[in-house]
Homo-oligomer: A and B are copies of this chain.
Amino acid sequence: MTHQSCPLCDALGGVLVFQAKKFRVIRAAEAGFPAFYRVVWTEHVAEFSDLSDADQLLCMRVVVSVEKTLRQLLQPTKINIAALGNMVPHLHWHIIARFDWDSHFPAPVWAPALRKVTPEELLAVQQRLLPLADELAHRLSLLL
């Protein structure tokens, strides 16, 4: 099922990291958060509990694989995971590596910013995103 007016049915929504039949993983362009990934479910469903038990399990295996890869390769201060979808009610999980120097920490990324981030801090993470994408795609391929 797809919805014509849904931005996650119409477009990838970010830089594609991995595409499977039932889901894709993208890196989102969210200013100030260099390691902001999304697991987008392919079928247009609004809520996580709309998935079958088997699909819930697969979906969380993907989320956890992204989380573990971010932890191991970037050593963030914290991982934030969330499925909100108020604006785009098409199931997608945010998996965000948070750093104690980021613009909002320890507030959620949706709260007002607390500080400016220096380009050097962003660059240090950005330089590790290409090998991270390779490693993530490899690990996700093993889940299928």
Q: Which residues of A contact B (CB under 8 A)?
A: 46-49, 56-57, 60, 63-64, 67-68, 71, 77-87, 89, 98, 105-108, 110-112
Which of these, B49, B81, B89, B112, contacts A71 with CB under 8 Å? B49
The residues of B that contact A48 with a CB separation of less than 8 Å are: 63-64, 67, 79, 81
Task: Work out how many copies of this chain go into the complex.
Answer: 2
**A81 in contact with B82 (CB, 8 Å):** yes
The residues of B that contact A79 with a CB separation of less than 8 Å are: 47-49
Q: Could you list 5 further interchain pairs (A-B, Cβ under 8 angstroms) beyond the known A80-B82, A80-B86?
A: A47-B78, A48-B81, A77-B86, A86-B105, A112-B112
The residues of B that contact A106 with a CB separation of less than 8 Å are: 86-87
